[in-house]
Amino acid sequence: MAVPSLELPARWEPVAPGSYWAVPARVPPDRVPPDRTLPTRPVPSLAVSTNLYGSGTPGIPEPPRAGPGFATPGEPVPVWRDWRWWLEWLGVVVFALVLAFGVRTYVAQLFYIPSGSMLPTLHVGDRIAVDKLSYHLHDIRRGDVVVFRRPPLEQSAYPDLVKRVVGLPGDTIASVGGQVTIDGRPLSEHWLPQPEPPTLPSPVPYAFSLGHPYTVPAGHYFVMGDNRTNSEDSRYFGPIPTGLIVGKMAFVAWPLDDSGWLVMLGATAALLVLAMAVVALGGSGTARHGRAASLRRPPVPGTP
């Protein structure tokens, strides 16, 4: 019988206790004699002085062991790895939600402008980004556009309002001939449209109506809308306490202005970097698992 080519893929065949030989795999089974006398030759790599698979007789290899931790070629990936992949992504999603909630609660939030009391600075339908951290770092300044919770005397149903800070704690504010004065000096309001609309007292029977000079209490701020002739502000519901102020307007988020575009581009770039980092970490984990699994598989005789 002709000896098949030794370059063909081979399989393990036991020919004696503790001894295995490489038999060409392409030999038809019906041509293998019952006594397994098919010409064979030892695998060259077995001619070593150490055992390839662990304990046993030195120099004589043992067959691959089966059991937990050993996989064979073509074996499906264990189910726990699929669950681990899902758990990793679930952790990423939960972290993103917690981060978004934390940002919205403590860092920044978007607000919708429903009325024209801040025209021409803010228009109906604008969405503004409000910074909630800045007033933890510095005091409220005159001219800041702030969002605050609805004060008790406000009659509208809006839960939040947006106005501009005009009077600070301790200021004596008044309306003289349609001009706002602070401590008797005219206030330069460059944020108002030109020509400046008159700032008139409100008809409410309270001291803060600006029918007479009014001193802003400590811990309170006198706010007004830029559209002075069509704005219910502190002239109607009084000065607002610090505890009601949500934060300072950072920029108009929609429609985007110049500063809004810069912030949105920066946020988009940061999100892309974060997504790439997540993908890179996930890919490295998959490669690491795959390498570990491949290292635990025993070598298959006859394969490169």
| Active-site annotation holder among 5, 45, 55, 117 | 117
Q: Are 233 and 95 in contact (CB under 8 A)?
A: no
Verify whether residue 163 is a known catalytic residue: yes
Give burial (CB, 10 Å; 0-12/13-18/19+) of 238.
Answer: buried
CA pseudo-torsion sign 297, 299, 300, 303: positive
First and final C-alpha spacing in the chain: 28
User: What does the alpha-carbon distance between residue 154 and residue 174 come to, in Å, rounded to a whole number?
Assistant: 21
Element containing residue 254 per DSSP (H, E): strand 245-254
| Active-site annotation holder among 163, 175, 209, 248 | 163
CA distances from 53 to 44, 63, 64 (A): 16, 7, 7
Sheet with 240-241, strands from edge to edge, namely 108-112, 127-131, 245-254, 145-149, 160-167, 220-224, 240-241
User: What does the alpha-carbon distance between residue 210 and residue 181 come to, in Å, rounded to a whole number?
Assistant: 10
Q: Are 191 and 164 in contact (CB under 8 A)?
A: yes
What's the token pair of residue 98? 């917690």
CA distances from 250 to 143, 256, 260 (A): 13, 12, 9
Helix 258-296 to helix 79-102 angle (10° resolution) is: 160
Identity of the amino acid at 20: Y
Residues recognised as catalytic: 117, 163
